């Protein structure tokens, strides 16, 4: 986006909430390419006008605050005495780039308003404290819920060490993902399938089980929309049967989690650029909780799962899923394949509880977002 043509520079900013809402829009511009860093937006306001704006660039590039300061400088604007609105607490440590808090102090701004504090142990309030110690007025907590949603994966990883796991599935209104013979293309509309690729694009990684890979020769890539990067591809394959010729392996970079320590098969996959990670549980299956923890250590913020009923059910039973992304088509299929392979219940007290966070129509279908209680 060409910020020179952005209309945010053309009207008065009347209050803090309005300014933070503009910063959140900026954060959204980095939705697809900041991983593993958070998506952060920043606007600088002086005399009720936005004089600078920016959002976090891909890893190694400028953070949002630095982008906004540079934008103001490019416009010939003096930021001294201005108020900075940023969707996440400015960093206070040296990483790939210098501390943003230091840059704001040096710039001479008068006030910094953050939407949320950064739970990263390297920051954790130190950024705001550094600003305050320099005589800058600080505030935190404005539009906190909206800012949290933009960075749900990063924040969850910083707090728990694990990525935010979002499981996508598409079914008929009676909950069938395929006919009894396995035919599934297409239950939902093109609009729903394209929307699913938008959710793929924002994820750090896309994961499927070997059943899905074998059935569809799935690529696990974003194709329906343009994206500046492809998410990491992950295959759960307990017996290590995926072949080096599978499309999911082509191009390199795929992580294959398995319970089989097969050196010959591993070598063949690694020759194609894949990485094979052995994580076995006592039953000879992939240890799914350990897999999720491993992905957190590998800086995966959001994991997008598109799997069959078997892996879906296992992930739910193991408590590895945070959110369901369900597309419901207005049709009935009768006997067929379910979304989840879960054991039968004898009592309703054993039901798995969720709560709806969004229901929206996408073309003729419904998109439902539901989080586990």
Residues serving a catalytic function are 65
String of DSSP letters for 91-140? --S-SSS--HHHHHHHHT-SEEEESS----TTTTTHHHHHHHHTT-EEEE
How far is C-alpha 209 from the chain's CA centre? 20
b (16+ CB within 10 A) / e for 11-28: eebeebeebbbbbbbbbe
Residues 6+ apart with CB under 8 A from 210: 235, 236, 237, 238, 239, 241, 242
Rounded distance, CA 255 to CA 243, Å?
13
Question: Do residues 117 and 83 make contact, with C-beta atoms less than 8 angstroms apart?
Answer: no
Q: How does DSSP assign 186-223, residue by residue?
A: TSS-HHHHHHHHHHHHHSSEEEEEHHHHHHH-------
Under 8 Å CB-to-CB from 139, ≥6 apart: which residues? Answer: 16, 111, 112, 113, 114
Asked if residues 147 and 24 have their Cβ atoms less than 8 Å apart, the reply is yes
Q: At what angle do helices 100-107 and 126-133 cross, to 10 degrees?
A: 20
């Amino acid at each position: 986006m060409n910020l020179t043509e952005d209309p945010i520079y053309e009207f008065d900013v009347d209050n803090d909430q309005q300014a933070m809402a503009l910063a959140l829009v900026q954060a959204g511009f980095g939705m697809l390419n900041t991983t593993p860093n958070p998506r952060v937006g920043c606007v600088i306001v002086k005399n009720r006008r936005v004089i600078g704006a920016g959002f976090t660039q891909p890893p190694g590039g400028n953070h949002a605050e630095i982008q906004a300061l540079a934008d103001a400088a490019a416009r010939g604007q003096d930021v001294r005495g201005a108020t900075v609105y940023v969707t996440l607490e400015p960093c206070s440590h040296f990483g790939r780039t210098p501390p943003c808090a230091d840059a704001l102090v040096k710039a001479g701004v008068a006030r910094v308003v953050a939407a949320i504090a950064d739970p990263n142990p390297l920051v954790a309030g130190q950024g705001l404290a550094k600003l305050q110690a320099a005589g800058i007025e600080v505030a935190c907590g404005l539009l906190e819920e909206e800012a949290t949603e933009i960075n749900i994966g990063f924040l969850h990883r910083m707090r728990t060490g694990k990525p935010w796991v979002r499981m996508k599935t598409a079914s008929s209104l009676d909950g069938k993902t395929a006919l009894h013979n396995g035919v599934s293309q297409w239950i939902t509309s093109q609009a729903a399938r394209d929307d699913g690729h938008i959710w793929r694009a924002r994820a750090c990684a896309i994961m499927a089980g070997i059943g899905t890979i074998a059935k569809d020769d799935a690529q696990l890539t974003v194709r329906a929309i343009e994206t500046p990067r492809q998410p990491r591809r992950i295959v759960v394959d307990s017996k290590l049967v995926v072949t080096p010729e599978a499309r999911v392996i082509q191009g390199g970079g795929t992580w294959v989690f398995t319970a089989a320590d097969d050196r010959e098969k591993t070598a063949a996959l690694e020759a194609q650029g894949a990485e094979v990670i052995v994580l076995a549980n006592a039953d000879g299956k992939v240890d799914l909780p350990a897999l999720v923890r491993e992905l957190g250590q590998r800086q995966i913020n959001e994991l997008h799962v598109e799997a069959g009923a078997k892996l879906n059910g296992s992930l739910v039973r193991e408590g590895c899923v945070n959110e369901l992304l369900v597309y419901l088509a207005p049709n009935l299929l009768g006997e067929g394949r379910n979304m989840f392979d879960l054991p039968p219940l004898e009592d309703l007290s054993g039901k798995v509880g969720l709560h709806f966070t969004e229901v929206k129509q996408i073309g003729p279908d419904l998109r439902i977002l539901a989080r586990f209680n």
